[in-house]
A = this chain, B = another copy of it.
Amino acid sequence: MSGAGEILVVGLGPGPEFWRTPEASAALERATDLVGYQPYLARCPERPGQMRHGSDNRVELERARLAIDLASAGRVVAVVSGGDPGVFAMAAAVVEAVEADAAARHLSVTVMPGVSAMQAAAARLGAPLGHDFCAISLSDNLKPWTLVERRLRAAAAGDFVVALYNPASKARPTRIFDAFDLLRNVKAGSTPVAFARAVGRPDERIVVTTLAEADPSIVDMATLVIIGSSESRLIDRPGGTPWILSPRQAGGGAA
């Protein structure tokens, strides 16, 4: 293999091809190698001669190092993530791996953004992120749970809409209950809540409820949770799931 290697950090979007950017699709065509978590590779079209390097979850840094090795050998490597690689996905691991490897600093690295899960969920829900919001990963693999708690409290103190990523896994099935317990102590029970699972995929399921009535046991790792601000409200839709509106106009009411 000759030529200059490259790393393309590609966001596949939430699932369906109609939510994948043309830039991402072109990268999947051009790459000589695809590197990623196995279920994301399965979403990429098969191309003759293209090598696939699938891996398990939770090995982001190893995956990034493999991409560096391949690109250093002259390959054009697409590192694929669901959603946006910059939002709780592979961009941080690739940048971290390049930082740690002086030779890799000279590689061409291009991050290609994508539609993230909270945006797909928001599209189905009307306008839940219509105002200031924050995004928090509930995963405590790489940060202490006390930091998650601090951020949930700060999000409530700032009366932000909150999008929760990675709300559950086999390794930490109870964290979403801890998070809801914390939020129920600092936000009104009437606050709108949505559980948006696998939006855009065949097994999409959306539940709209309130903080008081929400049952966090329905979440899994494919679920994105949205919790409103004090101004967010439910709007009934004839024959459909209610919308959540976080209005543009805000009065600054207490959380």
Check B23 against A22 for contact (C-beta < 8 Å). Answer: no
What is the CB-to-nearest-CB distance from A214 to chain B, in angstroms, rounded to a whole number?
21
> Which residues of B have CB within 8 Å of A22?
17-20, 22
A134 touches which one: B13, B160, B247 (CB < 8 A)? B160
| Residue A65 CB within 8 A of the other chain | no
The yes or no answer to A170 lying at the interface (CB within 8 A) is no
State which of A35-43, A66-74, A125-133, A172-180 sits at the interface with chain B: A125-133
How far apart are A120's CB and chain B's nearest CB, in angstroms?
6
The prevalent SS among residues of A at the interface is mixed
A133-160 residues with Cβ-Cβ distance < 8 A to B are 133-137, 142-144, 146-147, 150-151, 153-155, 157-160
A252 at the interface (CB under 8 A from B): yes
In angstroms, Cα B160 to Cα A13, docked, is: 24
Bound-state Cα–Cα, A19 to B19, Å: 10
Q: A95 contacts B243, CB within 8 Å?
A: yes
Q: Pick the contact of A150 from B127, B133, B252 — CB < 8 Å?
A: B252
Given contacts A22-B17, A160-B154, contact A123 B112 (CB under 8 A): yes
0/1 string, A97-109, CB within 8 A of B gives 1: 0110000011000
Q: Are A19 and B113 in contact (CB under 8 A)?
A: yes
Chain A, range 47-106, C-beta contacts under 8 Å to B: 60, 84-88, 91-96, 98-99, 105-106
Cβ-defined contact, B111 with A248, below 8 A? no
User: In this assembly, does A246 line the interface, its C-beta being within 8 Å of a C-beta of chain B?
Assistant: yes
In angstroms, how far is the closest chain B Cβ from the Cβ of A88? 8
Residues of B within 8 A of A23 (CB): 18-19
Q: Is the CB of A92 within 8 A of B252?
A: no
11 A-B pairs whose Cβ atoms sit less than 8 Å apart in the complex: A84-B115, A86-B122, A92-B130, A92-B131, A92-B247, A111-B126, A113-B115, A132-B137, A133-B135, A142-B248, A147-B250
The residues of A with any CB-CB pair to B shorter than 8 Å are 13, 17-23, 26, 60, 84-88, 91-96, 98-99, 105-106, 110-116, 119-120, 122-124, 126-137, 142-144, 146-147, 150-151, 153-155, 157-160, 235-238, 243, 245-252
User: Can you list the 10 inter-chain pairs with the closest CB atoms, starting with the nearest?
Assistant: A154-B158, A92-B130, A134-B134, A147-B252, A143-B250, A86-B122, A92-B127, A18-B23, A111-B123, A113-B119
